[in-house]
Structure 1
Amino acid sequence: MIPSPELRATGVGALPQRDPDAACRAVLTVFPEIPFIPTLPNRGLLESIVFADSEHLPGGVVREGRLTVDRGTDPSEAMEQILLDYLEGNAEPYRVGEAYGSGFHAMMGRDLSGPLLVKCQVTGPVTFGMQVVDETRRPILYDPEYADLLGKLLALRARWCEEAMRERMGARATLVVLSEPYLASLGSGVVPVDPGVAASAFGDIADLLEGGLGIHCCANTDWGFVLRLAPAVVSIDAWTYAREFLLYADDVARYMETGGVVAWGVVPADYAVFAAETSDSLFARFRDIRARATETIDPDLFDRQSLITPTCGIRNAGEQEATAIMEATALLSRRLRGEEP
């Protein structure tokens, strides 16, 4: 688990900047206590979700802007090496290349020994496996070999990130959050996701990490399933789905009692929606969520194990607009903590 955030604030992942140093400065200015390492998808395809964690995928090729696996080459040797590296905890070969994570490399030049926690994002295995397809356009999550491999491949990626945050940035505590919008497919009859496959992949990642591992899903899903995985953090779009999430209030209470943290994405990452709000309206919205939650959850526990974030990454906004969204998130946190009226 991670240190209790006590209503502190951080961001989710993506920012619109193309200059990684500028993006890191913006994050550290607004979220000095719990900074996140920004991803910068506007710099190019390789820094967007899925692609950013694909550089070591056996057989992976980019065709017409889509990531696929090429069955024309035999991936078995590369797959075996990943399994061996996973068993040995050898994460160094799975480091983030600068073309895939310029924000990560820019943050490695900074001393982050002061913050309570340092956070980064890695694509989750379900989203990765549903977005990457074979030559028949079948998601590789439906391929038993790749389904078993993905958790281990992404575990090595996450382990390298964790080690880099600790050793290269001086982080006292680390959090790797899996971006998992495709968890919305749990129970779907159209694009189904096997809960057993998802749980196994998550377990592979959790087993390799020493610090915190979280899950971010900005859609609605089977929250009971997610909470039972016992991640350090469950990150949700609380602006849209707080009511649905709190249908599992008993599960949330048990989760928090065992040290789990809920990251309440209550500040809209969509600037058009955000622009219609005020500091007072965001404060009132969160207080309403808190009132509903604390009908079941002890209020002190709720405050201790809650984190405040935007609803999702802030990609589709201007740089000043993204900064305004982050600053509103930080201001909301300070008001909730009684540091500002």
Structure 2
Amino acid sequence: MIPSPGLRATGVGALPHRDPDEACRAVLAAFPEVPYVPTLPTRGLLEAIVFADAEYLPGGVVRDGRLVVDRSIDPSEAMERILLDYLEQNADPYRVGEAYGSGFHAMMGRDLSDALLVKCQVTGPVTFGMQVVDETRRPILYDPEYADLLGKLLGLRARWCEGAMRERMGARATLVVLSDPYLASLGSAVVPVDAGVAASAYEDIAGLLDGGLGIHCCANTDWAFILGLEPAVVSIDAWTYAREFLLYADDVARYMEAGGVVAWGVIPAEYSIFAAEKPDAFFSRFQEIRTRATETIDPDLFDRQSLITPTCGIRNANEEEAVAIMAATASLSRRLRGEGP
């Protein structure tokens, strides 16, 4: 698990910035206690979700703006190497290249040893496996070989990121969050995702990490299943889905009692929605959530085990608008902790 955040604030992932140094400065200005490594998809396709973590995918190629597995490239040798590296916990070959993570490289030049916690994101295995397809457009999550490989490949990526946060940024505590919106497909008859496959991949990733491992899903899903995986953090779009999440209040209470943290995404990351609200609206929404949650959860426990975040990565905004969303997140956190109006 991770240190109790006590209603501190952080971000989720994407920023619209093109200059990675400026993106890092914006993050550190807003969230000095729990900084996160920004992803910068505006810089190019390779820094977008899924693409950013496909650097070492066996047979992976980009065609017409999509990631596909080219079956004409024999993946067996590369797959065997990943399995061996996983068994040996050899993450060094899976480092983040600068073309895939310019924000990560920019943040590695900073001393974050005073932070309570340092956070980054890696694509979740379900989203990765559903977005990458073969030549027949079949998601590779439905291929048993690739389905088994994904957790190990992403686990090695996550382990490298964890080590870099400790060794290159001086982080005292680390959190790698799996960005996995396709977890909304659990139980779907239209785009089915097998819960057993998802759980196995998550366990493979968790098995490689020494620090915290979290899950971010910005849609509604089977929250009992997610909480049952016992991640260090469950990150949700609380602006939209708090009511659905709190249908599982007993599960949330047990999760928090065991040391789990909920990251309440209560500040809209969509600027048009954010700008239409008055600042007090975010405070009122969170207080409504807290009132409902503490019917089941001890109020002190709720406050200790809560983080405040935007609903998701900030993509549909310009840099100034993104900074405003982050500032509102930090301001709400201070207000909730009695440190500001």
Q: TM-score, normalised by structure 1?
A: 1.00
Cα distance in 2 for residues equivalent to 1:162 and 1:80: 23
Query: What does residue 13 of structure 2 align with?
Result: 13
Query: What does residue 131 of structure 1 align with?
Result: 131
> How far apart are residue 101 of structure 1 and its match?
0.1
Cα distance in 1 for residues equivalent to 2:218 and 2:210: 25
Q: Which runs of 5+ in 1 are unaligned?
A: none
SS in 2 for 1:214: strand
Does 1:211 find its partner at 2:198? no
Counterpart code for 1:275: A
SS in 1 for 2:192: coil
Query: What does residue 220 of structure 1 align with?
Result: 220
Cα distance in 1 for residues equivalent to 2:280 and 2:267: 12
Does 1:30 find its partner at 2:30? yes
> How far apart are residue 144 of structure 1 and its match?
0.2
Cα distance in 1 for residues equivalent to 2:239 and 2:254: 23
Query: What does residue 303 of structure 1 align with?
Result: 303
Cα distance in 1 for residues equivalent to 2:251 and 2:92: 37
1:248-296: CA deviations, max 9, x gaps? 0000000000000000000000000000112211101100000000000
Query: What does residue 160 of structure 1 align with?
Result: 160
> How far apart are residue 134 of structure 1 and its match?
0.2
Cα distance in 2 for residues equivalent to 1:276 and 1:70: 45
Counterpart code for 1:144: P
1:105-153: CA deviations, max 9, x gaps? 0000000101000000000000000000000000000000000000000
SS in 2 for 1:58: coil
Cα distance in 2 for residues equivalent to 1:13 and 1:237: 13
Q: Which runs of 5+ in 2 are unaligned?
A: none
Does 1:121 find its partner at 2:125? no
Query: What does residue 3 of structure 2 align with?
Result: 3
> How far apart are residue 213 of structure 1 and its match?
0.2
Query: What does residue 73 of structure 1 align with?
Result: 73
Query: What does residue 104 of structure 2 align with?
Result: 104
Does 1:202 find its partner at 2:202? yes
Query: What does residue 85 of structure 1 align with?
Result: 85
Cα distance in 1 for residues equivalent to 2:277 and 2:306: 22
Cα distance in 2 for residues equivalent to 1:29 and 1:69: 40
Cα distance in 2 for residues equivalent to 1:142 and 1:110: 41
SS in 2 for 1:208: coil
> How far apart are residue 315 of structure 1 and its match?
1.0
Root mean square deviation, CA, Å? 0.4
Cα distance in 2 for residues equivalent to 1:102 and 1:175: 19
Cα distance in 1 for residues equivalent to 2:193 and 2:275: 36
Cα distance in 2 for residues equivalent to 1:167 and 1:278: 41
Residues 185-200 of structure 1: pairs in structure 2 closer than 5 A: 185-200=185-200
> How far apart are residue 103 of structure 1 and its match?
0.1
Counterpart code for 1:263: A
1:31-86: CA deviations, max 9, x gaps? 00000000000000000000000010000000000000000111000000000000
Counterpart code for 1:262: V
Cα distance in 2 for residues equivalent to 1:114 and 1:81: 37
Aligned length: 341
SS in 1 for 2:207: helix
1:155-198: CA deviations, max 9, x gaps? 00000000000001100000000000000000000110000000
Query: What does residue 321 of structure 2 align with?
Result: 321
Query: What does residue 180 of structure 1 align with?
Result: 180
Does 1:340 find its partner at 2:337? no
SS in 2 for 1:262: strand
Counterpart code for 2:216: H
SS in 1 for 2:225: helix
Does 1:145 find its partner at 2:145? yes
Counterpart code for 1:228: G
Cα distance in 1 for residues equivalent to 2:115 and 2:279: 25
Counterpart code for 1:202: Y
